Amino acid sequence: MNNSDKPTVLILCTGNSCRSHMAEGVLRSVAGDLLDVQSAGSKPAGYVHPLAVKVMAEIGIDIAQHRSKHLEEFLKGEVHTVITVCGNADQVCPIFPGQVNRHHWGFVDPAKAVGTEQEQLVVFRKVRDEIQRVFAAYGAGWKDSSKR
């Protein structure tokens, strides 16, 4: 819930274990001074995937203290923007109080990667890099508009 005067951006995924946390970490690093960035899931896994934590640490973003949350935690507070990062969450996404914007930017689920840890890390890094490009640009847009 938003405990500040900053608009809340809620990033939703089904499991809230990988993609939404990576996006939350990137957006906080870029525009956390302007936005209250949160993530949640429609069916939370109950943990943050250790390989997501690892690949984010590689780019200097610590998500180790994040926790997997259900989207219902955010139904009582004002949510300015909802961004879904997987198709399932996009389909079940409710309208949140105060919601102004909604975006859907889908990414492959790295939690479904198979093989050795090294092979799985390749997938996690690819998804992280895609998320970083999209959410860094989105955060930069907030930064630009705040200067006007």
Cα-trace Rg, the chain: 14
* pLDDT score, position 2: 47
Tell me if residue 13 is catalytic.
yes
Can you give the pLDDT at residue 3? 52
pLDDT of residue 85: 93
Whole-angstrom Cα distance, residue 140 to residue 143? 5
Let me know if 93 is a catalytic residue. yes
Active site residue 18: no
pLDDT of residue 61: 98
Q: Which of 10, 18, 93, 123 is catalytic?
A: 93
How far, in Å, are 16, 35, 82, 83, 90 from residue 77 at the CA level?
A: 19, 15, 13, 16, 20
| Ordered structural domains, the chain, with CATH | 8-138 (3.40.50.2300)
Active-site residue (options: 13, 23, 31, 85): 13
- pTM for the full predicted model: 0.92
Residue ranges of the chain with pLDDT lower than 50? 1-2
- The owner of tokens 């092979």 is 119
What pLDDT is attached to residue 99?
76
